[in-house]
Structure 1
């Protein structure tokens, strides 16, 4: 409903291979794209599914992909993305994290993006922006190359608490707890 309530889109499509999902989508006014089984596997990527969709729907030049696993999507994020997409090739959701990152190099641990001898306090540091996976606004010309983003992108910074992705049963339990607590 959040996407519909934003009033930003001429058409809302749901790409699925599941009959129950298709029925539910149509009940709420979405158009259904029957996704072929090859693009509906657990290991299928989002860009592959979008490329297949655009191959079938050749008149679509700009698109927005919303991940159904992002349950804390807000209308204001959509409006901000739509506005930024007017002047950019792509827009995607990011969240800010304040973790000091490390990586292994030749059996040694080294800091990533900071000096261990001048270690910042996390609360004083601006942090890193990480892709949230909530949505991607992009153009056909990028998808044809197998990408959503290029150097002409803008981002919408979402609140960290809205960035929960439901990728496991544990994530689902956490999301349900948050929603229950908000009611």
Structure 2
């Protein structure tokens, strides 16, 4: 019935008709910055910023998965659903996919999941919405994830010496002469259910959404928090 309705109103892409939910993983055991998910950037908590971004992008099925009562209260403050995260998926050694799988197992109605990173405070809601739409344009993809472009020249070092990894050291490229590399920013991952149930957020049928360096800032330290507030004060984001 939903698919028929979508066709009737002229939505060419079934991605708009699929059940999409937003998940924000926000455990309470962060070590670099204690309870960093509820620390403020520009007067708004990191968690609050991510919830507001999702809402502005047009998504209303938003869940905060947490093991900490203060984070849960912050999620409720923004009128979103709180999912009680298990001890195992909240540990330092648990990968994000465990938290995602734990949630999606309880939500059999979800076709597409947007994993939104609370510690990426400068995600543009318009880009999040466009990245979601890109899941089916220009061709169907299984996943979309955020990246930023890097022009760093990378080396490896071992007992056998140094080795250039992404360039020929005899012909060092100038910045303007190459397209650089895409680095995962971690800001968001948009994946179809079929990818997640296989234990991952990505596969070989993914596309990317490029963010600027400022937009890709990730909060891991007090320095990052300080930098984020400076960017806001100086209106650089």
TM-score, normalised with respect to structure 2: 0.72
Relative contact order: is structure 1 or structure 2 higher (C-alpha 8 Å, sep ≥ 6)?
A: 1
- Contact kept in structure 1, 2:191 and 2:202, CA below 8 Å: yes
> Gaps spanning 5+ residues in structure 2: where?
1-51
- Contact kept in structure 1, 2:65 and 2:85, CA below 8 Å: yes
1:82 corresponds to which residue? 132
Measure how far apart 1:169 and its partner are.
1.5
How many pairs does the alignment contain? Answer: 182
2:64 corresponds to which residue? 14
Measure how far apart 1:60 and its partner are.
1.7
1:52 corresponds to which residue? 102
2:80 corresponds to which residue? 30
Question: What whole-Å deviation, never above 9, does each CA across 1:127-171 have from its counterpart, x for those lacking one?
Answer: 100000000000222222221111111100011121111011121
TM-score, normalised with respect to structure 1: 0.92
Mapped partners of 2:160, 2:222: distance in 1? 34
1:144 corresponds to which residue? 197
- Contact kept in structure 2, 1:100 and 1:122, CA below 8 Å: no
Mapped partners of 1:118, 1:135: distance in 2? 35
Mapped partners of 2:160, 2:127: distance in 1? 42
> Gaps spanning 5+ residues in structure 1: where?
none
2:89 corresponds to which residue? 39
Question: What whole-Å deviation, never above 9, does each CA across 1:78-118 have from its counterpart, x for those lacking one?
Answer: 12211111321000000001111111255221111211111
Matches within 5 A, 1:133-172: 133-172=186-225
1:4 corresponds to which residue? 55
Mapped partners of 1:149, 1:11: distance in 2? 22
- Contact kept in structure 1, 2:155 and 2:163, CA below 8 Å: yes
- Contact kept in structure 2, 1:90 and 1:139, CA below 8 Å: yes
Does residue 176 in structure 1 map to residue 226 in structure 2? no
Give the stretch that moved more between structures: 137-146 or 157-166.
137-146
Mapped partners of 2:89, 2:172: distance in 1? 45
2:14 corresponds to which residue? none
Runs of 4+ in 1 over 6 A off after TM superposition: none
- Contact kept in structure 1, 2:122 and 2:217, CA below 8 Å: yes
2:182 corresponds to which residue? 129
Q: Secondary structure at the match of 2:234?
A: helix
